[in-house]
Amino acid sequence: MNIATLPRFPLAQLPTPLEALPRLSRKLGGPQLHIKRDDQTGLALGGNKTRKLEFLVGQALAQGADTLITAGAAQSNHCRQTAAAAAKAGLRCHLLLNGDTPGQIPNGNLLLDGLVGAVVHWIERRERATRLNQLSAALREQKLNPYVIGVGGSNGVGATGYVLAMQELVEQLRVGQQAVDHIVFGSSSGGTQAGMVLGAKIAGFTGRLHGVGIDKEDRDRGPYEDELAQIANECAEYIGSNVRLTKSDFEVVYGYVGGGYGVVGDLEREAIRTAASYEGIILDPVYAGRAFGAMLDLIRKGAFKSGETVLFWHTGGAPALFAYAADLV
């Protein structure tokens, strides 16, 4: 592989901590629970996108870009971290966010977007692809050189960050003389899961990786796995690995979308309160909260053996929690 020679802009505080969750493990009666704290990557209150952005911003700078453009939901963790990465790299940043200009004082990720200097454009979700192209063209007409980052930073370049993340985890387990049987994490735009599964193959990790579909319905059980394989193989080619994956290499856990993307229900409320009250860990209401809730449900259903070790990979997103206060009190 040639990861060491690829363009990279340092953003993350690595390695992120690996912690046991003893009180929650006892409460549930097994399995043994651990957590990987990618909420502690450091950039503008952290999150998993920081690992991806190291390589995306690195490529943008290598191409002479002076502006980053990306898109997402109003409380997008990815957009918040992209805006912060742009500030750190000395780049302009434009964000296309779903919805209308909010009438109230900005909160959560949206507050942070403004603090780090991003220019926000409010759009209809269905217009996202068109508006990204239009904005990029308009900035080029202004003699700027924009670099467009897809939703979630989920492409072969961004997934590189999670190939390295799996190598980081394997080394932490080796040093600590620990073993992990299962990893559970939220999966949406696909880059995190694609990079992790590819990284697991490369690093020789033998546990199972369960990506909880945050906004994926279990209808055909195929198109999303195909997308994951495509991102992973793009990443493998980018980093110079001979590994190639198919959709059968990916395990997506469906059935936990609840009321839909960003809609907080009982599953998320219980997960957030449980993690906070038993381990002092703060989960976000959209991604980590839903994935953690799914993990609790799977444990209660006996999906994991009592003697096994399950690692929850915390992808961050806590700033969004404050924008959902009314759903949590």
Q: Give the C-alpha separation, 162 to 160, whole Å.
A: 5
Q: Which residues on neighbouring strands pair with residue 184, listed in sequence order?
A: 210, 312
Write the single-letter amino acid at 288. A
Q: Which residues contact 291 (CB under 8 A, 6 or more apart)?
A: 184, 185, 186, 187, 212, 214, 256, 312, 315
Catalytic residues: 76
Q: What are phi and psi of 10, to 5 degrees?
A: -65, 130
Q: Could you tell me the two tokens for 319?
A: 């700033």
DSSP 217: -
Q: Give the C-alpha separation, 305 to 298, whole Å.
A: 11
Select from 47, 46, 68, 49 the least CA-distant residue to 57: 68
Coil, helix or strand at residue 163: helix
Q: Give the C-alpha separation, 178 to 306, whole Å.
A: 16
